[in-house]
Amino acid sequence: MRSGLFVEVRSGTQPGQKVVLKKKGIKTRNSYSFGDQYVHFNVSIPSNLTPRQRELIEEFAKEDQGEYDKRATAGASG
């Protein structure tokens, strides 16, 4: 793996999802070309939260649920 490589984690990336970085992997055997690099996303869930962290996560959940409700209502009406 080469150093200095950055991967943008896009909005909506889910656990278990993978991204293929074409020609960014290790050198292909008996060749001058490079293989593909696969990036697998895993999520680490914290077991201990500060009260502020919990508050922020709950606030995010409410906001996210509100957006989901808006999309569901819009889809049902048309």
How far is CA 65 from its chain centroid?
19
Nearest alpha carbon to residue 20 among 40, 6, 34, 5: 40
- pLDDT tens readout for residues 13-40: 888 999 999 999 999 889 999 999 999 9
Q: 4's torsion region: left (phi>0), alpha (psi -120 to 50) or beta?
A: left
Nearest alpha carbon to residue 7 among 17, 27, 21, 25: 21
Look at the pTM and tell me if it is higher than 0.75: no
